[in-house]
Amino acid sequence: MPAHQRGFSFVELMIVVLVVSLLVLSAMRVYRDFPAQAQVLEGVTLTRTLHIALAEFAATHGRLPSERELNAMQPPLDNISGRFVERIEAVGGVKADDDPSRNTFRLYFKDTPDVDSQIRAGIMLMVARMPEGGGQIEWACQEASHVEEGEGVAIDKRLLRPACRTVVDK
């Protein structure tokens, strides 16, 4: 064999193939979630109507609406839907024994073939919180932790992260 032989050994080529295949596999995992994350973003965008209504209420009253006052807002909620979101419901307003600075809304995703299978018939929560001492309402996404059987499925929080950078712990 010549002393100055050029080229790669079989082991070196196999290591390169292994590294490239691991990179492709990790990229495929990340890409697989993009359509579902974009559809979750539609739901978050549809809540902009709620942002305006709650901001106006808070500016007028200095607090978030009570459960009764939220139910009075229900007709406008019935009109909110999108290509992937079926409906938005007010889960609960401020109750006497509840956190007085918090409203929760449930977003229901459609059970149709054009909805990504990871969020099909899925449910997520949008939470509005009023900071102590007033100020601008803070919005965050949250997993639907208490889903009744037959009602739908809770959307995995990894799919919520890109659309909602903050998550409410309570």
Answer yes or no: is 44 within a domain.
Answer: yes
Structural domain harbouring 130: 35-160
pLDDT of residue 168: 46
Domain CATH for 114: 3.30.700.10
Report yes or no on 82 lying in a domain: yes
> For residue 97, how many other CB atoms are within 10 A of its CB?
5
Domain assignment present for residue 98? The answer is yes
pLDDT at 94: 54
| Overall domain count for the chain | 1
Phi and psi at residue 88, to the nearest 5°: -125, 135
> Positive or negative, the Cα torsion across 109, 111, 115, 120?
positive
The answer as to whether 29 is a domain residue is: no
Residue 26 included in any domain: no
pLDDT tens, residue order, the chain (170 aa): 566 778 889 999 999 999 999 999 998 887 888 899 999 999 998 888 888 888 888 888 888 888 778 877 766 777 888 999 999 888 865 554 456 678 888 999 999 999 999 999 999 988 888 888 777 888 888 888 777 777 788 888 888 877 775 544 44
